[in-house]
Amino acid sequence: MKKATIYTGIGDNGTTSLIGGTRVPKDHKRVEAYGTIDELNAHLGLLIVAIDDDEAISMLEEAESNLLAIGSCLATEGDTATPLPQAGITVLENAIDCMEAELPPMHKFILPGGNEAAARANLCRTVCRRAERTIVSLSRESMIDSTILVYINRLSDYLFLLQRQLLDGKEKIWEKHC
């Protein structure tokens, strides 16, 4: 029996296979989109190990699972299947509503940082926004299920509020100097 290996050499020419076998350049918009989702998922893993809040951890683990489904959908050329039910979006919206009700209103920009967990949440938010931009770009040339963009948009909102929650009222406000 031949031993399985992680390297095949097939992608050494700068191409990769989509689900279904179509070969595309590794800088193809579809690869960029699901690659950024993969990067976001890796950052979420780093965030999870930095927080001590079971509810937030549960939400983030559910997001990781949803992102795997979204990445799989993005990696499948011509796939029009809905990668996740509307309930995934509703769960995020409910969490956002609860967090907003508990946090003081915000009237100025918040500087990143404050503590490690909040900084990681902010980094996740920025990668999430980049993922959204890559998916929007891809959607101009390929059919993308609308729930993907809605979910990614809500996830970035959730991550912003999670950052604020993790700062526990110790937000550093940006002061405009010009």
Question: pLDDT digits over 112-131, tens only?
Answer: 889 999 999 999 999 999 99
Question: pLDDT digits over 140-151, tens only?
Answer: 999 999 999 999
What distance lies between CA 9 and its chain's CA centroid?
Answer: 29
**Domains of the chain, with CATH numbers?**
15-167 (1.20.1200.10)
CB-based contact 139:152 (threshold 8 Å): no
Residue 17: band (very low, low, confident or very high) from pLDDT cuts 50, 70, 90:
confident
CB-based contact 174:109 (threshold 8 Å): yes
Positive/negative CA dihedral, 44, 80, 27, 129: negative
Percentage of residues of the chain with pLDDT beyond 90: 63
